[in-house]
A and B are shown apart, each in its own frame.
Chain A
Amino acid sequence: MRTLSLEEIDLIKKSIIRKNITSAEILSEVYDHYLTHLENLPEDDFKYGLNELDEKFTYNFCKKLQRDQKNSNRREIKTLQKEVFKSYFTWPRFAFTLFFIASISYLGTLIPFKTQVILFIMIPLIFIVGLNFVVMFRTRIKLKPLKNDFSGQSYKINSLTSEYLTLQLHWPITLTNIFLHVPRILGLTDFIPEYLYSFLSVATCIFLVFYGLILFEVFKIKSKTAFL
């Protein structure tokens, strides 16, 4: 095994950049494969080895790897979400679920509607927005070395795991915005009967809290192993 020269590393990077890989997961794997293979070849065989690798990791093959990885990531995160969700209905977590639902339902009968909106909807939403920032920050830090290595690439390098998790975190924020603003735009200010106010705020709170907690746990699990 030998240390590659800066010129050789530059040739490898240029060769990989031509494949337009945007997924950090695939890019790092392909780059490591190139480097490890070429480090094991004598200096004279470098160009031959590089061409050989380029023939294996063609543009289309890399795009396919990226597409498959995207689907795999989605499937994996969805499975994790389901597993975490199920865990809230098995002991000992079920005790928390029961206690939480009972407390929120009881508080819903005591607190006036405006306070309920602040407490039951805004606090979980702030948690979700905060988690979103943490995900973005962590991804930025983890991607920094790779982005520096491939600074000449015109396509933005992104973590597929982070991208999907961020998308999941945006859903409740978008839905809340739609729920708050669309009725106003349409002039439907009193379209929800008053007796449903409490029920709706309690139900929304339960949904948001569990949704946020599930995503937080998925983030905790995936952040140990992925670009997150």
Chain B
Amino acid sequence: MSNNNLIKGSLQTIILKLLEEKDRMYGYEITQKVKELTAGEIKITEGALYPALHKMEAEGLLTTEIQQVDNRVRKYYSLTKSGKAEMSSKMNELHAFIDNLHRILNPAIDPKLNL
């Protein structure tokens, strides 16, 4: 399952969804949460995560706040209003894609059936 291309394509959706569930998260926390939720099957690399977070911040989907934690500065990310809207649309897109993928992989399923 740990296909890098599949993860790359859904990284933005994963980040948006995690931030919707938890108000704010920092980079390392996101990598650990994904690892925990997938029992280590999916590992988000730092090389993919940070550029994606910075890109989403520049696009106005995420906002950041810095906070002093245990003698160091921590940067937290949270969803903006447009980030929340983007999350809903990305989730719908992903669900529709998964449904279609099911149909392709199981041609026996009636195309008109609502999965």
Contacts and interface: CB of A to CB of B under 8 A. Distances in A.
A179 to B, nearest CB: 34
Given A36-B28, A225-B66, A76 B54 contact: no
Contacts of A227: 66
Contacts of B28: 32-33, 36-37
B3 interface: no
For chain B, which range describes its interface: under 10, 10 to 19, 20 to 34, or 35 or more residues? Answer: 20 to 34
Nearest to A64: B51
Q: Is the interface of B mostly helix, strand, loop or mixed?
A: mixed
Interface in A86-139: none
A145 interface: yes
Contacts of B69: 32
B55 interface: yes
Contacts of B54: 65, 68-69, 72
Nearest to A69: B54
A3 B50 CA distance: 25
For chain A, which range describes its interface: under 10, 10 to 19, 20 to 34, or 35 or more residues? Answer: 20 to 34
A203 interface: no
A28 B66 contact: yes
A57 interface: yes
Nearest to B72: A32
Interface string A55-90: 011000100110011011101100100000000000
Nearest to A146: B73
Interface in A25-42: 25, 28-29, 31-33, 35-37
A28 B55 contact: no
B58 interface: yes
B70 to A, nearest CB: 8
Interface string B66-84: 1011111111000000000
Interface of B: 26-29, 45-47, 50-51, 54-55, 57-58, 60, 63-66, 68-75
Interface of A: 25, 28-29, 31-33, 35-37, 56-57, 61, 64-65, 68-69, 71-73, 75-76, 79, 142, 145-146, 149, 224-227
